[in-house]
Structure 1
């Protein structure tokens, strides 16, 4: 049975909480019991529960309200349900003011406890995911993997088999812009689609190169309060946030060697320990790793752990570049035209003229699907379209730079009659710089007179990498 969460119960009535703990264990919860307030806060913080049931009247010097206040001072981020035998509710209301999430009267109905626990845990996980997503700038450039080419059908068929079999670790390889993150979302959907609570199944994505080196370990594994200077409170890592669902580690080929060894341990043992923590927390995570690197070559060069590579590559899916699935180019073009005309409230574009078709099919698309998407988005925003023609496309599509040398030599922006946002202009300049340099971030930063870090930040902000 999949563990649904870690619940700690503190009550001096051993009979009541033992009975309640048995009922919760039958529901799939991992439980821990305490019968005294002695060193209770230390034990609670060490075990790192997902939820706590705490009796108000412990019959000792420290009561439940004292412990609750002490936990609040430690900035714990798990819900606490107070148990009270006070019919007046005065102490329960006081507990709510002190930060309790809910309270239950004794004697309580076990089914009611289960309902309250289940709801609070769902709300807590949702809150954690929302908080993480607000911090994260990574986003998919589409929700559907579009393609009818034979090679794409084979990829999707294999991915679906892997997902439905419940394979715990999958490696997706392919050039930048081929749709690795989109396929990861499809695998997540296939894996958990039969779950009644599918909408609540977590999907967490983290880019291993998008965070400074001194932050990535904390993002992955979490930390306890005081583990380092800025650790003001306990924090769950992405492995914990994704428990019961899917964790995508994007650009895993760029992960530091010391983190690779820790990741291997997590994959093999299915437990994670927060930085500064004392306990190994069990996790049930569907792990998907993505990279545009040649990991086999990196293993030979000593840049990637051989044991981690073979652990991940047992089930590997390679996404072909767009130039190998050219029959999908026009299909994707129509899809993006429809997507962006609706997004920007533009007139429907239902025709692609033959001259545009030829340029689209002849161009090698070094930036793959992402580049095509960006080109079509630019056409929709910058041009007044009733059909897509060759004149709408950027000059470098089809090697047409020579037709307009002055436009290349001077910096010019053609302002459309309906206007355009500065954000779109910024995005277009970033896109052109990446396109000109073959997605080389350092060279693109040089073209735009930006630092490497500023370029990467802006590119991630506009979903260009």
Structure 2
């Protein structure tokens, strides 16, 4: 569907210009000549984005912003302001504006900003819809992703959740296997029962069996009383056995009996005890390979292998990285009372180039570190862990391809000539896009126009979109 835009401006000429331009870009646009008309239009028909001027008679842009956020906090609002009102624009950001634009508007910047805001809204909407398919609890479990591998995984989890099937969740460390287990439990008929988690790798073999099945008084030295195990604690609920590939052969035998007979036997006990428990398990090992090598029981493997959910590593779902990174940014900025609101292009480029051997957990740690170290409103590549920032540095230092033209020798040339060559080369590189060229060169668009006019290039070089 075409995005629906509401433009608010009490200048009839400016309002007409914006509605015409935005309609030409393919948006469904409605104009409002004042704040009251804007709110009436918003209540009548929902909008995907609001673009409003700050200085207006009656209700000003800040009041419009607050009213929009009260009506629907998800709608992004862009503020238009003059240079003299930049402080007002900063206040607008604090009140919830997505971004602000300086008048007179640079239409290239306007379109990029609108596209970015609408894309952010789309990703949030898609992710919310994915989570709602699996129930409300998926929101709190922080399962985030809209890439094809994650869509497939979530669809399978949705089908598994209402059943009693044993589920094996596989994947590298840090991919979020426990989050999926929690989500399956939260959307199952057992959701009102307990979810008990056991990390099989964190306990030595001598303690794991007692931890799982309990023990009788006097079963071993120090067993001064009878103790209920985790399976009894999870009765009428779910038990999640994390890192099940680390379980010893002896404990594997007892677990197999639990799955087959739905009975446990305490350490030192002599009678079976019935339990009503659903089993979810996870591993970062290749259990099929472990079976072939004799490290894991084949019969237990096939009991666990009823339904397998494979968590994709982060390098296979790179399109989810910006969404995950911004989620963590909001989380840690709020937690640490920081004003960081977005990433610099370099930081996001580093995220997209890094291979993330630690997966989502590594990304989360990198963002938390960056938020803590960030000074301004943007987290830059300078605040990233060295290993993550190295991906960007490696790209920058790649050798030039064999057919690349060597840079010219600048010695002895006039500075004005060097400047002219740099500007024209950058314009060529950006396809004639003056806004992008100005950004790359570190100058304003107005300065670029002046210099092109000086070189006699302004009239002969039409801008490409």
Provide the TM-score with structure 1 as the length reference.
Answer: 0.53
Report the Cα distance in structure 2 between the residues aligned to 1:398 and 1:313, rounded to whole angstroms.
40
Q: Is the 8 A contact 2:371 2:379 kept in 1?
A: no
| 1:179 aligns with one of 162, 176, 186 | 176
Q: Is the 8 A contact 1:144 1:186 kept in 2?
A: no
Q: Secondary structure at the match of 1:192?
A: coil
Q: Is the 8 A contact 2:205 2:247 kept in 1?
A: no
Report the Cα distance in structure 2 between the residues aligned to 1:187 and 1:385, rounded to whole angstroms.
40
Residues 111-169 of structure 1 show CA distances to partners (whole Å, capped at 9, x for unaligned) of xxxxxxxxxxxxxxxxxxxxxxxxxxxxxxx82211111110110110110111232x1
Q: Is the 8 A contact 2:353 2:392 kept in 1?
A: no
What's the CA shift for 1:276? 1.3
Q: Is the 8 A contact 2:171 2:312 kept in 1?
A: yes
Report the Cα distance in structure 2 between the residues aligned to 1:392 and 1:354, rounded to whole angstroms.
13
What's the CA shift for 1:239? 0.5
Report the Cα distance in structure 1 between the residues aligned to 2:204 and 2:195, rounded to whole angstroms.
22
Report the Cα distance in structure 1 between the residues aligned to 2:266 and 2:336, rounded to whole angstroms.
44
Report the Cα distance in structure 2 between the residues aligned to 1:383 and 1:398, rounded to whole angstroms.
15
Corresponding residue for residue 163 of structure 1: 161
| 2:217 aligns with one of 214, 222, 225 | 225
Q: 1:327 to 1:319 in 2, by over 3 A?
A: same
1:116-131 matches, within 5 Å, as: none
Corresponding residue for residue 263 of structure 1: 255
Q: 1:385 to 1:206 in 2, by over 3 A?
A: farther
- Structure number with greater CO (CA < 8 Å, separation at least 6) is 1
Is 1:188 aligned to residue 188 of structure 2? no
What's the CA shift for 1:389? 1.3
Is 1:215 aligned to residue 212 of structure 2? no
Q: Is the 8 A contact 1:221 1:272 kept in 2?
A: yes
Q: Is the 8 A contact 2:170 2:308 kept in 1?
A: yes
Corresponding residue for residue 304 of structure 1: 296
| 1:149 aligns with one of 124, 140, 147 | 147
Q: Is the 8 A contact 2:239 2:278 kept in 1?
A: yes
Q: Secondary structure at the match of 1:154?
A: helix
Gaps in structure 2 of 5+ consecutive residues: 1-139, 395-465
Q: Is the 8 A contact 1:250 1:291 kept in 2?
A: yes
Gaps in structure 1 of 5+ consecutive residues: 1-141, 404-465
Report the Cα distance in structure 1 between the residues aligned to 2:374 and 2:348, rounded to whole angstroms.
17
Residues 387-437 of structure 1 show CA distances to partners (whole Å, capped at 9, x for unaligned) of 12111111221426989xxxxxxxxxxxxxxxxxxxxxxxxxxxxxxxxxx
Corresponding residue for residue 355 of structure 2: 364
Q: Is the 8 A contact 2:314 2:356 kept in 1?
A: yes
What's the CA shift for 1:307? 0.5
Q: Is the 8 A contact 2:215 2:269 kept in 1?
A: yes
Report the Cα distance in structure 2 between the residues aligned to 1:302 and 1:329, rounded to whole angstroms.
38
What's the CA shift for 1:223? 0.5
Provide the TM-score with structure 2 as the length reference.
Answer: 0.53
Report the Cα distance in structure 1 between the residues aligned to 2:378 and 2:154, rounded to whole angstroms.
31
Residues 179-209 of structure 1 show CA distances to partners (whole Å, capped at 9, x for unaligned) of 000110001111137x6xx2xx201101101
Report the Cα distance in structure 2 between the residues aligned to 1:391 and 1:340, rounded to whole angstroms.
18
Q: Secondary structure at the match of 2:385?
A: coil
Is 1:243 aligned to residue 241 of structure 2? no
| 1:376 aligns with one of 356, 362, 367 | 367
Corresponding residue for residue 281 of structure 1: 273
Corresponding residue for residue 387 of structure 2: 396
CA RMSD of aligned residues (A): 1.7
Report the Cα distance in structure 2 between the residues aligned to 1:337 and 1:192, rounded to whole angstroms.
34
Report the Cα distance in structure 2 between the residues aligned to 1:400 and 1:369, rounded to whole angstroms.
17
Report the Cα distance in structure 1 between the residues aligned to 2:273 and 2:327, rounded to whole angstroms.
43
Report the Cα distance in structure 1 between the residues aligned to 2:154 and 2:231, rounded to whole angstroms.
26
| 1:321 aligns with one of 313, 333, 347 | 313
Residues 436-463 of structure 1 show CA distances to partners (whole Å, capped at 9, x for unaligned) of xxxxxxxxxxxxxxxxxxxxxxxxxxxx
Q: Secondary structure at the match of 1:246?
A: strand
Report the Cα distance in structure 1 between the residues aligned to 2:372 and 2:196, rounded to whole angstroms.
31
What's the CA shift for 1:284? 1.0
